[in-house]
Amino acid sequence: MVKDSDLNELSTPLFLKPLHVGRPNVGNRDRFLKRVHEIFDQMWFTNGGILVQQFEKELTRYLGVKHCIPVCNATLGLEIAIRAIGMQAEVLVPSFTFVATPHSLAWQGITPVFCDVNPLTHNLDIRKIEKKITPRTTGIIGVHVWGNACEIEALTELAKRRNLHLIFDAAHAFGCSHQGKMIGNFGALEVFSFHATKFFNTFEGGAIATNNDDLAAKIRLMKNFGFSAMDQVIFPGTNGKMTEIAAAMGLTSLESINEFIACNKRNYDLYRQCLQSVPGIKVFEHPSEQRHNYQYVILEINEDEFKMNRDSLMEALHSQNVLARRYFFPGCHQMKPYQTNPSAHLEQTDALSSRVLSLPNGTSVNERDIRAIASFIRKCGKQRKNPTKEI
Ligand SMILES: *Cc1c(COP(=O)(O)O)cnc(C)c1O
């Protein structure tokens, strides 16, 4: 028999308005609008305008890196980076990433060769990479999944020893550090995403960070059609420029970045505290000794212990208007464009993408929301524990 209280729960969701994963973190609206007025006063909308120049300066300072070149989005940023550095033929990438990582290779005729991940870190497993190197391999793209640095030292050593290019997809990792140094300073270059759903946003946008002057010069040309001077084009480029309106948002976001981080961390700590004793639920831990943006609250569901699988929990949460997301599901190697890749079997990636669930975080999520979500999750686990008892 279903109790009255259960019926109520079935008919009215916990949240009247949906709670999304990746709702934008937004800085001070008035300051943003003031900048928008400046753009109209200047009538300089793009092509390296005043705000993009200022944004670039502040990004380089924030990251402590020599160059941080704003671009229109991270996907195009990756494509430009891959071409500027000269990757070709085959490049090693994790499959447990957003599909833009392999797309940025495939889009320019390079085969992404997928490698498995370490189930503890969710990042590239250094022990599994070397076997995938062939005479056609030209590079590695590491991804700092959830903002956690991959095994940078081991990857750097491997790349050096095997004469491969090494770059990082740092789409998740703005505001994060590794061994006391900001992400943005590693590999030949690193690419950030400032998409609206990311920790730090410019509506759409991204940036390429590097300490290599020659590479930076090449990237600047490539993102601007290959123009080296007025009417002078020295190689095929593309249009990867950031607009002034995006930079206005970026500058405004930067002013509030510490508040975003503080809020994310508060939320993340509370989620962990409320969920730590739920059998079969593990909240992925971010390293406490590094700077971190705490944007991702990642659950790993152990179906046997929790007595409910990840997809059922997701559906249950959705029915309450908590729009939790499966990341990255399916792994890229299972997606249609890549099913025929010679990347074979990725056991850990498949297992991980069937047990991971991302919960809403960011400045639009508060303490009450988190307590309600956590107690609902706890109830889901309990309900299934002894199904016969409830009849
Ligand atoms: C979001 C994301 C991208 C793409 O970023 P865009 O700015 O949307 O192009 C690339 N890689 C990863 C890992 C991402 O999460």
Domain match, 223 and 273 both: no
Structural domains counted in the chain: 2
Partnered with residue 282 across adjacent β-strands are 300
Domain match, 249 and 163 both: yes
In a domain, 157, yes or no: yes
Cα of 391 from ligand 1 centre, angstroms: 47
Q: Which of 66, 294, 268, 265 is nearest to 175 (CA)?
A: 294
CATH number of 318's domain: 3.90.1150.10
CA-nearest residue, atom 5 of ligand 1: 74
**In percent, how much of the chain has pLDDT > 90?**
91
Domain match, 276 and 221 both: no
Contact 30, 371 (CB under 8 A): no
In a domain, 129, yes or no: yes
Give 80's pLDDT tier (boundaries 50, 70, 90). very high
Contact 299, 326 (CB under 8 A): no
CATH number of 74's domain: 3.40.640.10
**pTM of this structure:** 0.95
Provide the residue type at 136 as one letter: R
Domain match, 217 and 297 both: no
Q: Which residue has the higher pLDDT, 3 or 308?
A: 308
pLDDT tens digits along 375-384: 999 999 987 5
User: Which residues fall within 8 angstroms of residue 31, CB to CB, at 6 or more apart?
Assistant: 252, 255
The domain boundary, picked from 191, 223, 255, lies at 255
User: Which residues fall within 8 angstroms of residue 7, CB to CB, at 6 or more apart?
Assistant: none
Domain match, 106 and 189 both: yes
Domain match, 90 and 237 both: yes
Cα of 101 from ligand 1 centre, angstroms: 7
Using the atom order of ligand 1, give the atom closest to the CA of residue 198: 1
CA-nearest residue, atom 13 of ligand 1: 98
Domain match, 200 and 265 both: no
Please check the confidence at residue 6 and state whether its pLDDT lies above 60: no
**Is there an atom of ligand 1 within 6 Å of 172 CB?**
yes
**Is there an atom of ligand 1 within 6 Å of 79 CB?**
no
Pairwise CA distance, residues 33 & 306, whole Å: 48
* Residue 330: cis peptide before it, omega within 30 degrees of 0: yes
Across the chain, where does the E strand assignment appear? 19-20, 67-71, 90-94, 111-115, 137-143, 165-169, 177-178, 181-182, 190-193, 206-210, 227-229, 232-233, 281-283, 297-301, 322-323, 356-359
pLDDT tens digits along 282-330: 999 998 899 999 999 999 999 999 999 999 999 999 999 999 999 999 9
For residue 3, what pLDDT is reported?
44
In a domain, 322, yes or no: yes
The domain boundary, picked from 255, 281, 304, lies at 255
Domain match, 308 and 205 both: no
Cα of 172 from ligand 1 centre, angstroms: 8
**Is there an atom of ligand 1 within 6 Å of 169 CB?**
yes
Please check the confidence at residue 133 and state whether its pLDDT lies above 50: yes
Partnered with residue 210 across adjacent β-strands are 67
Q: What are the phi and psi torsion angles at 223 (to 5°)?
A: -75, -10
Which structural domain range is residue 186 located in?
Answer: 29-255
Q: What are the phi and psi torsion angles at 375 (to 5°)?
A: -70, -30
Domain match, 209 and 297 both: no
In a domain, 224, yes or no: yes
Contact 94, 353 (CB under 8 A): no
pLDDT tens digits along 181-210: 999 999 999 999 999 999 999 999 999 999
**54-63, 202-211, 309-318, 336-345: lowest mean pLDDT where?**
336-345
**Is there an atom of ligand 1 within 6 Å of 148 CB?**
no
Domain match, 189 and 68 both: yes
Domain match, 43 and 187 both: yes
Please check the confidence at residue 386 and state whether its pLDDT lies above 60: no
Among all chains, which residue has been given the structure tokens 């990004």? Answer: 59
